[in-house]
């Protein structure tokens, strides 16, 4: 029987599929475990250059599975507090940290519902392509929750604090065009063209300088909390590491030869 999260690595591309299409890929407790296991399995692997995260069927992820949540309602407040905290600390937090720690670019392929943890997961990706039919909401406040999966970390950095507060406090729905206007989504395409557009982007990333991508991701992740002097030094060190590599030599040679570079040669 297929699991709630599927991982396939082939031809340099890792694809992670949220696989509960009959439930709009809502995040169940089983899926939390499976997603954590998938992230652990991807960490440290060097046989892929890009990770694509997508949902099975017509939706990305419609947030948490409220039927799962309802099974905890008979417990005392103290027991619910302990249980939900343990659940998030055991699976959600390490999953987000593992995915953030990947040196490879992570691309979200979003269609249909993208809510709750689905929006958190998407916001943590490096690039996001969305279908015109995608609908977004933080959703948490609508059921009396504050948010998880790094949503309070990613949204202020993408949108600014004021807009992040609006999306979290009001939990309104918005469409793909608004998501692109806000900067949550890089590109919006017709649903029928989404897979092809993702494939084109993946092909472009695969042809790029893999080590450089890892350095760029690390610099961006560190920049928000680093003073300028520290960030400048980090840039100098990363620049020097890139300059010492074969991809830099190939990039410069290709430019001078007026041809496309072929990165990844050793």
> What domains, with CATH codes, occur in the chain?
5-206 (3.90.226.10), 210-257 (1.10.12)
As a whole-number percent, the residues of the chain with pLDDT over 90 amount to 97
CA 122 to chain centre: 4
pLDDT at 56 over 80: yes
Tell me the C-alpha distance between 81 and 28, whole Å: 18
- Confidence at residue 1, expressed as pLDDT on a 0 to 100 scale: 41
Average pLDDT, the chain: 96
Q: What is the reported pTM?
A: 0.95
- Confidence at residue 225, expressed as pLDDT on a 0 to 100 scale: 86
- Confidence at residue 224, expressed as pLDDT on a 0 to 100 scale: 87
Average pLDDT of the residues in 237-243:
96
Average pLDDT of the residues in 240-249:
96
* Model confidence pLDDT, tens digit, residues 57-69: 999 999 999 999 9
Average pLDDT of the residues in 100-129:
98
Q: 36-67 burial string, b = 16+ CB within 10 Å, else e?
A: bebbeebeeeeebbbbbbbbbbebbbbbbbee
Average pLDDT of the residues in 205-224:
95
pLDDT at 77 over 60: yes
Average pLDDT of the residues in 5-16:
97
174 contact partners, CB below 8 Å, separation of at least 6: 135, 136, 137, 182
* Model confidence pLDDT, tens digit, residues 117-146: 999 999 999 999 999 999 999 999 999 999
- Smallest CA-to-CA distance from 112 within 184, 16, 198, 21 is with 21
pLDDT at 22 over 60: yes
């Amino acid at each position: 029987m297929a699991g709630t999260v599927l991982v396939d690595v082939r031809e340099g591309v890792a694809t992670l599929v949220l696989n509960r299409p009959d439930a709009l890929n809502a995040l169940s407790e089983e899926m939390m475990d499976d997603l954590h296991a998938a992230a652990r399995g991807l960490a440290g692997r060097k046989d892929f250059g890009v990770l694509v995260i997508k949902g099975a069927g017509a939706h990305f992820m419609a947030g948490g599975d409220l039927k799962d949540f309802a099974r905890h309602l008979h417990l005392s407040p103290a027991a619910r507090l302990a249980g939900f905290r343990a659940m998030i600390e055991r699976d959600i937090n390490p999953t987000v940290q593992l995915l953030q720690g990947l040196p490879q670019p992570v691309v979200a392929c979003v269609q249909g519902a993208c809510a709750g943890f689905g929006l958190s997961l998407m916001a943590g990706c490096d690039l996001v392509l969305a279908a015109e039919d995608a609908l977004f909401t933080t959703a948490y406040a609508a059921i009396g929750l504050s948010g998880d999966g790094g949503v309070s970390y990613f949204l202020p950095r993408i949108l600014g604090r004021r807009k992040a507060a609006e999306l979290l406090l009001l939990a309104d729905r918005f469409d793909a065009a608004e998501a692109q206007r806000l900067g949550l989504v890089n590109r919006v395409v017709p649903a029928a063209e989404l897979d092809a557009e993702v494939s084109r982007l993946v092909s472009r990333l695969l042809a790029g300088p893999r080590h450089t991508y890892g350095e760029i991701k690390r610099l961006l992740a560190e920049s928000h909390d680093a003073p300028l002097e520290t960030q400048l030094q980090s840039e100098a060190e990363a620049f020097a590491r890139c300059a010492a590599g074969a991809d830099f030599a190939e990039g410069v040679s290709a430019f001078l030869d007026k041809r496309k570079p072929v990165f990844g040669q050793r």
